[in-house]
Amino acid sequence: MAFDLASYAAECGVAEPERFVERCNLFRDYLLETNRTLNLTRITGVEEFAVKHVADSLAIARYFPEFREARLRVADIGCGAGFPSLVLALAFPNLLLTPIDSTGKKAAFVERAARLLELDNVRVVTGRSCELNRKGEFKSRFDVVTARAVAPAPVIWKDAGNFTNRHGRFILYKTPEQAAEDLPALEQLCAGRTIRWQVTERFELPEGFGTRLFLYSLPR
């Protein structure tokens, strides 16, 4: 049986799952068209795209249900081709997404895709997070900082530690193996600070496409 993205989206709290799938298909078409001249993704199959890119991006709402309704300001570091930022913007119009990438061509693609998809809750930034982290306009700006398939968690936290506001947190997409490697370094890096790190339970992506979890920060 083929993967039912609409049903999965509904389980994640997407209000109009069928409409969401239609727009994801439009996004995929544009991504594949652009991928001919700009290397954005190796994932091109219909089901693989639906699971590895879309469902994986949506899974955050299963473990952090505030994504479904709260007016969260979310920075997506190293947004690449727009995962999870554009998927979350499509799924949850309540979110205010700031995709960030240091590669100008990738940031430009995400900006064009956001216009194509008529997403008015997306503001793309081109830059390195370690440099933006020192700018006043980014200090305490976000409720959530997320990243997917970018860098080890200690690097992400060091590069963007100023991004979150007083109650903000980092929620990072990881495999269990990555989290096991990152946690000891995070604990050492954050020793004596008002931040601690936890992981969610492991979960399986649909159709056997891999095991995932979220590595996230909490105040002590």
The tens digit of pLDDT for each residue in 135-162 reads: 999 999 999 999 998 999 999 999 999 9
Please say if the pLDDT value at position 32 is more than 80: yes
Please say if the pLDDT value at position 103 is more than 60: yes
41 band by pLDDT with thresholds 50, 70 and 90: confident
Please say if the pLDDT value at position 216 is more than 80: yes
Mean pLDDT of all residues belonging to the chain: 95
CA distance 213 to 204: 9
**Proportion of the chain above pLDDT 90, given as a percent:** 89
Span 194-219, average pLDDT: 94
Which uninterrupted H or E stretch holds 157? helix 153-160
How buried is 134 (Cβ within 10 angstroms: 0-12 exposed, 13-18 middle, 19+ buried)?
exposed
Please tell me the predicted confidence (pLDDT) of residue 149.
86
Span 101-118, average pLDDT: 96
Domain assignment of residue 98, given as a range: 5-218
Dump pLDDT digits (tens) for 200-210.
999 999 989 99
Please tell me the predicted confidence (pLDDT) of residue 11.
96
Span 89-115, average pLDDT: 97
Please give the tally of structural domains in the chain: 1
DSSP per residue, 65-84: GGGGTS--EEEEET-TTTTT
Give this prediction's pTM: 0.95
Which uninterrupted H or E stretch holds 89? helix 85-91
Contact present, 156 and 147 (Cβ < 8 Å):
yes
38 band by pLDDT with thresholds 50, 70 and 90: confident
Please say if the pLDDT value at position 1 is more than 60: no
Domain containing residue 213: CATH number? 3.40.50.150
Span 124-141, average pLDDT: 96
Residue 104 DSSP one-character state: H
Task: For residue 38, give Cα distances in angstroms to 29, 81, 85, 86, 174.
Answer: 14, 10, 19, 18, 26
Please tell me the predicted confidence (pLDDT) of residue 43.
79
